[in-house]
């Protein structure tokens, strides 16, 4: 099953609860929450309070993507707020931190994910003794919605599927739209983050449903 996880950062940030409810009603599988600190990524977005507000109104999984220089500082706060997936960047953590974060997410009944920037090699991931449920392959550099998809990262999606097997979700984040969604799914992606390709369209509901239809039989 291929899941569509719209990025709520691309929606109306002044009314997150309404946007979250709309996504759930439209059939979104997950909600992707981009969390940036202005340091690791050149943008500022949401804190734990925003995740808590979204959690209050929807039941679908919240995919918290921590683009933070030191995710350990706030990781527990996001878990307490209701995050279902806690995804940290390989570039911001070492193996010891991943071990601690893995234990912490498990204590809260959540799942650990690890994300990599376009320039980061999959071979650099030291996760052999960790319970990593999600690997996020970024096809843009962290920062802002609406960036152009980087096609040179496509082989990494297939390689991630080969490396991590069928028990791990392979997520693609950045520039996903109706022109590449099916191809990415055929390469092995099981979660597609959609920001501008949903919220940037004249009819976001129809845009989301079109993406779901495109990958529905992959």
37 part of the active site? no
**Residue 142: alpha-carbon gap to chain centroid:** 11
The single residue of 29, 84, 173, 177 carrying the catalytic annotation is 173
pLDDT at 191: 98
Q: For 129-138, write each residue's pLDDT tens digit.
A: 888 999 999 9
Contact yes or no for 214/197 (Cβ under 8 A): no
pLDDT the model gives residue 42: 87
Q: How long is the chain?
A: 218
Q: What's residue 139's pLDDT?
A: 95
- pLDDT at residue number 26: 97
pTM value > 0.85: yes
Distance CA 156, CA 23 (A): 29
Alpha-helical (H) ranges within 82-176 are 95-107, 154-164
- Among 154, 160, 92, 173, which Cα is nearest to 132's? 160
**Can 126 be counted among the known catalytic residues?**
no
Q: Which of 34, 37, 84, 177 is catalytic?
A: 34
Give residue-wise pLDDT tens across range 137-149.
999 998 777 788 9
Question: pLDDT for 73-84, tens place per residue?
Answer: 999 999 999 999
Locate all alpha helices (DSSP H) within the chain, ordered by sequence: 16-26, 48-57, 75-81, 95-107, 154-164, 181-186, 196-199, 204-214
* Domains along the chain with CATH numbers: 3-214 (3.20.20.70)
């Amino acid at each position: 099953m291929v899941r569509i996880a719209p990025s709520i950062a691309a929606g109306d940030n002044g009314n997150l609860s309404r946007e979250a409810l709309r996504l759930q009603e439209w059939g979104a599988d997950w909600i992707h929450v981009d969390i940036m600190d202005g340091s690791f990524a050149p943008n500022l977005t949401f804190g734990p309070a925003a995740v808590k507000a979204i959690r209050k109104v929807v039941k679908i999984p919240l995919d918290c993507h921590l683009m933070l220089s030191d995710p350990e500082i706030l990781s527990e706060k996001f878990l307490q707020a209701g995050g279902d997936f806690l995804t940290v960047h390989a570039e911001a953590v070492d193996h010891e931190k991943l071990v601690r974060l893995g234990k912490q997410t498990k204590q809260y009944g959540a799942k650990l994910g690890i994300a990599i920037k376009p320039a980061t090699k999959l071979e650099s991931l030291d996760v052999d003794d960790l319970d990593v449920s999600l690997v996020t392959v970024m096809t843009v550099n962290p920062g802002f919605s609406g960036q152009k998809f980087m096609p040179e990262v496509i082989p990494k999606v297939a390689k991630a599927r080969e490396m991590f097997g069928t028990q791990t979700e392979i997520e693609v984040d950045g520039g996903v739209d109706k022109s590449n969604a099916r191809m990415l799914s055929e390469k092995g992606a099981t979660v597609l983050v959609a920001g501008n390709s949903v919220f940037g369209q004249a009819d976001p509901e129809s845009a989301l449903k079109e993406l779901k239809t495109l990958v529905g039989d992959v």
